[in-house]
Amino acid sequence: MSTSRYRAFVAVAHHGSLSAAARSLGVSQPSVSSQINGLERQSKVELFHRRGYRMSVTDSGQKLLAVVQKLLAIESEADFLLRDSGELNQGMLKLGAVGPFHVIEMVAAYRQHYPGMQVSIRMGNSRQVLHDLEQYRTDIAVLAGKYERAGLTAILYASHPVILFVPIRHPLAAFTTVPLAALQGVELIQRELGSTTRMALEQALQAAHVTPKTVLEIGSREAIREAVARGLGVGAVSEAEFIADARYKPVRIENDPATTSTYVYMLKERQESVLLRSFSQAAGLKAVF
């Protein structure tokens, strides 16, 4: 069966409509519709539920999607091996990430080594990023924190201390470094539950028997920065993610009791592929766990 039908199927599954799928593939909508109809007629299986212009994958379609995405990933690997003697002068690398900081740094290094390669970055929360990797929607995932998942290899990229940032008129702004005990009773602005920065800081606070007062819980780094800038409380952030602003000041925690680590994840069965090895080498990845 032609892989063009499979590509059309994956595009519709991801985009939820024929028109959006056609735009992503650079073909006409009737062409995509014909591919999907032909696939369903040949297999005698309904792959999509149709609700007006919207299309959602059926249970049978979900099973096929996992297989087809793996098939297309293998086909892509074969193309890299055959094209230009594996020199990676053209093609696409697909990344998933929870935040822009380290992944952009990695992409810059990769593009310097392989300027002919295109790179796409799919942003999401940790669960979605790992799911995309396991479903072959992405080639590599970049996350803060270690996750034990069967079939995945985790490679440490960097570790950074969690620091505070405080409103410029806050009492803690008089210091460059404070003991963890200085957070006792302090009004703290926290990330959402599940945030690796929050978990690292909370573990350190619990171990030291220090209890701040959480006044706000916000799921956005940008919103937390604005809340701190407006004097609503003290924020915490990985040192690598701190963005300077005249309205607040960074304050280090003595002895760096809380740290976050960034890991690069890839499927074990693909880690020796030309594409993934090229990224590992360009990004300087070494320690495999």
What CATH number does residue 172 fall under? 3.40.190.290
Residue 225 lies in a domain: yes
Residue 173 lies in a domain: yes
How many Å separate Cα 17 from the centre of its chain? 24
Helix-then-strand count for the chain, H and E: 9, 12
Distance CA 93, CA 121 (A): 9
Q: What's the domain count of the chain?
A: 2
What does the pLDDT profile of the chain (289 residues) look like in tens digits?
567 888 888 889 888 999 998 988 888 999 999 989 888 888 888 999 998 889 998 998 888 887 887 787 777 767 666 665 556 777 889 999 988 888 999 999 999 999 988 899 999 888 889 988 887 889 999 998 888 888 899 999 999 999 999 999 999 999 999 999 999 999 999 988 878 889 999 999 999 999 999 899 998 889 999 999 999 999 999 998 899 999 999 999 999 999 999 999 998 888 878 888 889 999 998 744 4
Residue 212: what pLDDT?
96
Q: Which domain holds residue 216?
A: 158-261
Q: 140 pairs with which residues across the strands?
A: 95
Residue 76 lies in a domain: yes
Which candidate, 116, 141, 125, 12, places its Cα nearest to that of 64? 12
Distance CA 24, CA 26 (A): 6
CA geometry: angle at 128 spanning 123 and 129, to 5°? 55
Residue 99 lies in a domain: no
- Which of 55, 83, 111 finishes a domain? 83
Q: Compute CA distances 200 → 111, 188, 205, 224, whole Å.
A: 32, 14, 9, 17
Same domain? 168 vs 254: yes
Residue 17: what pLDDT?
92
* Sign (positive or negative) of CA dihedral 198, 201, 207, 209: negative
Q: Compute CA distances 262 → 45, 53, 90, 147, 250, whole Å.
A: 42, 40, 28, 11, 21
The alpha helices in 44-166, defined as continuous H runs, are 59-82, 101-113, 126-134
- Which of 83, 112, 137 finishes a domain? 83
CA geometry: angle at 168 spanning 166 and 174, to 5°? 80
Distance CA 115, CA 101 (A): 20
- Which of 57, 83, 109 finishes a domain? 83
Residue 10: what pLDDT?
84
Residue 279: what pLDDT?
92
Residue 81: what pLDDT?
62
Tokens 């909508």 appear where? 29
Residue 278 lies in a domain: no
Residue 147 lies in a domain: no
Distance CA 116, CA 95 (A): 16
Whichever domain contains 3, its CATH number is 1.10.10.10
**Is 271 exposed, middle or buried, given 0-12, 13-18 or 19+ CB atoms closer than 10 A?**
middle
For residues 129-140, one letter each, b for 16 or more C-beta atoms within 10 angstroms of the residue's C-beta and e for the rest, the string is bbebbbebbbbb
Distance CA 259, CA 251 (A): 14
pTM: 0.66
Give the contacts of 132 (CB within 8 A, at least 6 positions apart).
Answer: 96, 122, 124, 138, 141
Residue 228 lies in a domain: yes
Structure tokens at 19: 């028109």
Residue 132 lies in a domain: no
